[in-house]
């Protein structure tokens, strides 16, 4: 899956507001899914929830850009990234959940083997 955008989304009382995973089957095979160039822009969850970015392996990573994505009440333990490249940009608002130092600082090292990038400034 490539070049998919989700824009202007507002959620409330969603347990898992963002789940991007290609780990949806345990069947063996050689045609593994690759999710790249996914954009989440102006997305907000008004209530806390879990975020998951989970790719199959290092060669089949999830690739997502978060542009002005906010989850109110988000805690560090609510974020899981493995085999993911999460790029955060600033599109005129706060980036992710300001209360979460890991997201605020662009450090996903405590959440598996994901890699985070940051461009732009922080509010």
Tens-digit pLDDT profile for residues 46-93:
999 999 999 888 888 889 988 888 888 888 788 888 888 888 876 543
Number of domains in the chain: 1
CA dihedral sign, ordered 24, 52, 15, 17 = negative
Confidence of residue 23 (pLDDT cuts 50, 70, 90): confident
Whether residue 123 lies inside any domain: the answer is no
Whether residue 44 lies inside any domain: the answer is yes
Q: Identify whether the C-beta of residue 53 lies closer than 8 Å to the C-beta of residue 23.
A: no
Calpha distance 34→77 (Å, rounded): 26
> Residue 105 sits in which domain range?
2-24+32-118
The mean per-residue pLDDT over the stretch 21-28 comes to 76
Token representation of residue 82: 């493995």
Q: Is the pLDDT of residue 103 over 90?
A: no
pLDDT > 90: percent of the chain: 24
Q: Is the pLDDT of residue 120 over 60?
A: no
Bridge-partner residues for 38, per DSSP?
4, 64
Report the phi/psi class of residue 75: left, alpha or beta, with left for phi > 0 and alpha for psi in -120 to 50: beta
Whether residue 11 lies inside any domain: the answer is yes
Calpha distance 25→12 (Å, rounded): 29
């Amino acid at each position: 899956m490539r070049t998919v955008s989700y824009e202007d989304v507002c959620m409330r009382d969603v347990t898992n507001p963002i789940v991007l995973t290609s780990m949806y089957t345990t069947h063996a095979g050689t045609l593994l899914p690759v999710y790249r160039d996914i954009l989440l822009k102006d997305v907000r969850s008004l209530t806390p929830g879990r975020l998951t970015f989970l790719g199959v392996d290092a060669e089949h990573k999830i690739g997502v850009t978060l542009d002005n994505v906010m989850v109110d009440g988000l805690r560090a333990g609510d974020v899981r990234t493995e085999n993911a490249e999460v790029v955060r940009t600033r599109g005129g608002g706060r980036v992710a959940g300001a209360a979460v130092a890991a997201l605020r600082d662009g450090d996903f090292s405590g959440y598996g083997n994901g890699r985070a990038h940051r461009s732009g400034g922080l509010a």
